[in-house]
Structure 1
Amino acid sequence: MVKFSIEKKTLLGRLGKIESWGPVEVNHHTPSCMTYLRAGHIPHLTWDVAENQLKLEQTPIYQMTLPSLVTNAKIIEKFGKGAAKFCGMPGKNAIHLTPFDPLGKLPGGYNDSKSIAVWTANGKVSLDVKTWRSIVNSFGCSSFESLVDYDTPKDAGQKKLVKAVDRTKTFHEQLFLQDEKVSGERVVALGGGFSKYHRRKCAVDVGLAENTAAYTVEFHEFTEGKETDEKEMKELLEETFSPLPPTKLRCISGPFNPKTVLFLVQQGIDFFDSTFPIKLAEEGHAFCLADDYPTSSKYEVVDFNNQKFADDFTTPFEGCACYTCTKYTKGYLQHLLNTRELLASILLVIHNMTEYDRMFKLIRKSLENSEGL
């Protein structure tokens, strides 16, 4: 089971604690985030580097994404020891399996009544319920998500929205057929696009199912780089969660910046992922929170591709104690990016993930000091 308890409710969000994730005991306080994996690794880091140089505040709960592994699904099944061992992950870890990559593309027009389109580096893979069930069982992760029809853009008509919710409900029912075994804890994916009515309908149709361990909200249209309306986001989340048990863990996936994270925490979201720091690192960018975060939601993004840093021998971010900021300079980062050295991504991932982790620590501290409801 996912053993989660809410320790405090405030106007600024909820403080919680995860004590177990499937069979793995953890001591993980929320708000927080899963550690995003691609091909069973933190992008650009070896496990040795991650364990020795990435000093995270809490024991990670990992987010394993299917698109980078789907072509190896049959091999992993034949391997018989699960995806974590196949990928060489060290130790016994809490791992959540998602059918989509939050940093991948999700173009519309490819889902149908029998399958969801999953996009890999080599193109589209149609994922039906039977195949997803087989993958869930052979990958052997602590938890997994149910399938959701995500093809609900802002201009989606009534017919498309109805189809999307009906498909999500059908996928859910087919996944948990009475005679079928499905290994791992169930995290129910909730969709419905930009329609408050269909968000609520999806929550009622699939969210109230038995044995639901947690919820994840399909919100890819609201992630970094896309226009977002906080009022609209708030209303959609209210409609999603109002019919559901308030004590269950609430998750959301995607590269959300520190301002949006703070807003989503205020709406009751407990658990995010670490795709935002990875996205920035892969663009040659690094970020730093304002000194008064989260009193303000401000943060700075620095583009180390910029030639102006070529002769800058100061630390990337003053006061940051991460490996990157204590060992290297702005000029060196610019040089690495300019010469396309792999070390550039490694150093930027280490800094960005350290800062993202610190962000959640600051949010939790702020909630601890806030007046409870």
Structure 2
Amino acid sequence: MTKDVLKMLTTKQQLLSISVPSIITMTDAVEHFTSFTEFVNMQEHLTLLTVQDPAQTTNSGFQRSDSIAVWSRKGKHTLSANGYMDLVEIIKPDIYLALCDGDTDLKSTAKRAKKAVYRSRICLETCLDRHTASETLHSTGILGAVEGGYNIDARQTSIEYLKDKPLLGFVIDGLHRSGPEVANISFKEIKQIVEHTINLLPKNKLRVSMGSWNPVIVLNLIELGVDVFDSSYAYLITEQSRAFTFSCDHSSKQNNHLEPEISLNEKRYLNIKKK
């Protein structure tokens, strides 16, 4: 989103989401500025840097023991933890997610979930070492990823390692591989694992959930204790020339539902000017 478009929506300070796939090919240019926000002339806003783009489906199966794969428009990029921290120091976000392996979903095996926890732990150790030693990032917050797919034991192992680390908060990761399909995940599928995760996390730190959850799921996750979400759902339906209306009755949770979606391609929405 450009600055001019954002100003049409709001003049208030926002937390802008930046993903590695969207900026990894720009680092040579950004390096000539004091930060990414100066590069895009949006210094009045805060920024959150994520490893994957929540609006794009992550290609599965390309992670390695010491690196994470991300995909830009120019193809695959392989990032070690040190390579990722080099990028973080160029972008200078206000908050960033430590490099992690979130390549799991409901179909992932227990073995794969445990690998995601182990790989993310190794990456976090390097990220924290670099973060602590960096003068550039002294006022930047770092988030740790709670991994483990839908395996409760793996999630618990992840949290036991993370909970006493000097982190601003946690991203409840590994529930999906991002992209449009996240909107179709039911709350019933994620409720138990998210609730268990939230109950184990420190209550005084941020809890973040990335992905294009539909608004009903977002409200349910807020009820469980999630604090921060991205806006990829709104972006994705806009890209598909769709819109939606949302009924929310605070007196009755059962009345919170999405109305039938509106297709903006329908003829009745055309603005035809008569000569």
Q: TM-score range by the shorter chain?
A: 0.7 to 0.9
- Aligned counterpart in structure 1 of residue 83 of structure 2, from 120, 131, 134: 131
C-alpha distance in 2 between matches for 1:199 and 1:81: 38
Cα shift readout 1:120-175 (whole Å, capped 9, x = no counterpart): 11211111101111111111111111122112233323322221111111100111
Structure 2: segments with no counterpart, 5+ residues: none
Q: 1:176 is paired with a residue of what secondary structure?
A: helix
SS for the counterpart of 1:63 is strand
The answer as to 2:6 corresponding to 1:50 is yes
Name the counterpart of 1:72. Answer: 26
Q: Which residue of 1 aligns with 2:168?
A: 213
- d(CA) in 2 for partners of 1:297, 1:152: 29
Determine the structure 2 residue equivalent to 1:13.
none
Aligned counterpart, 2:198 = 241
Equivalent position to 1:299, from 255, 258, 267: 258
Question: What is the match of residue 146 of structure 2?
Answer: 190
More relative contact order in 1 or in 2 (CA 8 Å, sep 6+)?
A: 1
Quote the Cα distance in structure 2 between the aligned partners of 1:258 and 1:331.
27
Q: 1:204 corresponds to which residue?
A: 160
Change (3 A) 1:98 1:118: same
The CA distance in 2 between the partners of 1:224 and 1:259, in whole Å, is: 15
Query: CA separation in 1, counterparts of 2:5 and 2:15?
Result: 18
Per the alignment, in what secondary structure is the counterpart of residue 186 of structure 1?
strand
Tell me how many residue pairs correspond in the alignment: 263
Q: 1:64 to 1:154 in 2, by over 3 A?
A: same
The aligned residue for residue 276 of structure 1 is 233
- Residues 287-296 or 143-152, more deviating: 287-296
Amino acid at match of 1:289: F
Distance in 1 (CA, whole Å) between partners of 2:198 and 2:205 is 10
Shift of 1:223: 7.1
Is the 1:118–1:125 contact (alpha carbons within 8 Å) kept by the matching residues of 2?
yes
The alpha carbon displacement at 1:251 in A equals 1.0
**Closer, same or farther in 2 for the Cα pair 1:207/1:117, shift >3 Å?**
farther
Distance 1:265 1:148 in 2: 24
Cα distance in 2 between the residues matched to 1:71 and 1:65: 12
**CA, structure 1 residues 196+294, in 2 after alignment: closer, same or farther (shift >3 Å)?**
farther
> What percentage of aligned pairs have identical amino acids?
25
**Preserved contact between residue 109 and residue 151 of structure 1 (Cα < 8 Å):** yes
Report the 3-state secondary structure (helix = DSSP H, G, I; strand = E; otherwise coil) of the residue aligned with 2:168.
Answer: strand
Deviation >6 Å, runs of 4+: none
CA distance in 1, matches of 2:51, 2:263: 31
> Partner of 2:57: helix, strand, or coil?
coil
SS at match of 1:117: strand
Give the Cα–Cα distance (whole angstroms) in 1 for the partners of residues 79 and 54 of structure 2.
16
Aligned partners of 1:230, 1:299: CA distance in 2, in Å? 14
Q: Deviations over 1:257-287 (max 9, x none)?
A: 1111111111111111111111010000011
With over 3 angstroms needed to count, the CA separation of the structure-2 counterparts of 1:239 and 1:201, relative to structure 1, is farther
More divergent stretch after superposition (296-305 vs 275-284): 296-305
Q: 2:69 aligns with which of 117, 120, 125?
A: 117
1:288 partner amino acid: T
Match for 2:270 among 322, 331, 347? 331
Deviation at 1:240, TM superposition (A): 1.8
Aligned AA (1:331): L
Q: Which amino acid aligns with 2:240?
A: E
Choose from 77, 96, 103 the match for 1:151: 103
Question: What are the Cα deviations for residues 186-212 of structure 1, in whole angstroms up to 9, with x where unaligned?
Answer: 111211111111112111122331x21
Greater shift, 60-69 or 166-175, is seen at 60-69
Amino acid of the residue matched to residue 190 of structure 1? Answer: V
Give the TM-score normalised by the residue count of structure 2: 0.87
Quote how far apart the aligned CAs of 1:224 are.
5.2
How far is 1:291 from its partner?
A: 6.2
The DSSP-based 3-state class of the residue aligned with 2:160 is helix
Report the alpha carbon displacement of residue 95 of structure 1 after superposing the two structures with TM. Answer: 1.1
**Partners of 1:203 and 1:95 in 2: how far apart?**
25
User: Measured at CA, do residues 71 and 162 of structure 1 come closer, stay the same or move farther in structure 2, by a change above 3 Å?
Assistant: same
- Distance, in Å, in 1 between the alignment partners of 2:68 and 2:245 is 37
> Over the residues paired in the alignment, what is the CA RMSD in angstroms?
2.2
Residue pair 2:103, 2:177 contacting (<8 A) in 1 also: no
Aligned partners of 2:22, 2:160: CA distance in 1, in Å?
32
